Structure 1
Amino acid sequence: MSDSWYEVLSVLHLMAVLLLSQTNSLLLPNKATAGCQNTSSEGEIPTGPQVIGTSGNDCKRASIDIFLKAAGYLDFAVQKVLPQLPLELRNDLPLDLTEGVLKSLCLQALGLGVEIQMGMAIDSINATLAVKRRLACEMAKYWHQAHEYIKDLPLANGWGEKHKLFVQWKHIEAKAVAYYLHGLILEEGNASADIAAAALQAAEEYLKESKKTCEGFHMALPSSR
């Protein structure tokens, strides 16, 4: 019976990874119009920062749904399937199927989904700073938790270490965005100028650290550039 649960666990992991691969295809700039309708008017040049790729809003919304679905598969695997396995089998699972990796991957999917929502909010004239800050804080929370689950795992191969760097980079980047938006809100409110300046200074420091970590991620083997 434990073999059957192991197969279920493997299939859930595979389904989640395939969904994540699907979002990657959706969000690649050269695939932006393949299967998705761009909501920009003809001849209109998109303006404002975009968090991921240059795909239209339809592709972004579709990718958010897929990220949530992938996270759902992974959460089900952790909450419902792993407890069915005997302890000795759980201790002997391939690293990709261990609880820490599955939880981290689930949180990464949630973080990426919020990141896309954040990009859409930045592009929207109707989204307030408070909404953007809430999304940024939610994004930072997911990446922080993902980093906590994965940072001490023995991912010895090149891809594993690169994956750790990716999660670390996204975590720091999310904190930079959250502090920046928090600083802007403080500037607009009744907070002292010193408090607002401190938040913006923290954002700048995190941004520098994020760029450094991003470069380390790309330079780590296998090289991304």
Structure 2
Amino acid sequence: MSIRTIVAALAMTTIASTAGAVAVVNGGFEDPSGSGSFNTYSAGSTALTGWTISGASIDHITNYWQNSEGQRSIDMQGNGGNATISQSVSGFSVGQSYTLMFDMAGNPAGNPAVKKLIASIGGTSGSYTFDKTGKTLSDMGWETMTLSFVAGATTLSLAFSADNSGTSFGPALDNVRIVDAPAVPLPAAGFLLIGAIGGLGLMRRKG
């Protein structure tokens, strides 16, 4: 292996991963604009831009409570029962690591106190909880949740499902996005090694 090849290989470990841009359609649930405090969308409705609704209904919140980001968010249990929202997301690089991020809270107007939500993308899923104790409509206490995964295809299915029983006061969801997983930088010793190898290359050319 040439010195040039070794230097290039070591240098590559310092470069952050550069997977293609991945965008979630309507991840902040800003479309449609809605009216009043909230609007309820049943399974099969196409009203929520970019998302397919299945199972039970959802509430598309406008000003009923404090949203995490923007002007709107979702209550994943509209009229009782567990709803699912899903969409296909494209633009992944196969084998690349990513992180799904979303903001979660819970409808504080009714029980259960602990709201449960399942997030999944591709073949990776996670269960999440939020305790609404002490929270109010004007102070929801939103928390950012994460799910790390490796893309197995260029297009993956993204879904969120409520996981509660007998309630219309479900988990709240907002600000869904996907980011590249951070790269691991090369330790300082690696840079010294690169410099040493480069120096050897110069000496060899001068000899």
The structure in which a higher percent of residues are strand is 2
**Please, what TM-score do these two structures have when normalized by structure 1?**
0.22
Larger Rg belongs to: 2
Question: Which one has the bigger helix percentage?
Answer: 1
TM-score (norm 2): 0.24
